[in-house]
Amino acid sequence: MSDRMKPLSADLGDLLAALEKRGQDSVDLAGKVRAALAGDEKEHVISASYRNETLVITVDSAAWCPHIRYAQNVLLDKLRAAGETRFTKLKVKVGARFTE
């Protein structure tokens, strides 16, 4: 390759590292959410992430959304006690669980 041309992957190192960290942060946050939930709904949490100041929890069925919302105050208090303070709102949505 010439000096002016470089492979497309040359600048991906930092981008991939940031993407990997973001993915791991989501996995860690979902684990904290599951640990903070007391009922069967914890088994249905697929992921958790932040969208600005909103904590977004994804569950595998619409049937579990009201369970999470009902437990919202206790859940948010436990998460705050565990050091999660970035959120001011909670959103629960339905998503698909990926299996291999």
What DSSP element (H or E) covers 8? none
Positive or negative: CA dihedral 42, 48, 51, 55? positive
| Per-domain residue ranges of the chain | 11-94
Q: Which residue has the higher pLDDT, 6 or 12?
A: 12
CB distance 66 to 99 below 8 Å = no
Mean per-residue pLDDT, 60-83: 94
Q: Which residue has the higher pLDDT, 4 or 36?
A: 36
Q: Which residue has the higher pLDDT, 99 or 55?
A: 55
Question: What is the pTM for the complete model shown?
Answer: 0.80
Six token digits for residue 26:
């989501």
Q: Is the CATH code 3.30.43 the one for domain 11-94?
A: no
Q: What per-residue confidence (pLDDT) applies to 53?
A: 93
Q: What per-residue confidence (pLDDT) applies to 16?
A: 82
- The percent of residues in the chain predicted with pLDDT above 90, rounded, is 64
Indicate if the pLDDT at residue 24 is higher than 70.
Answer: yes
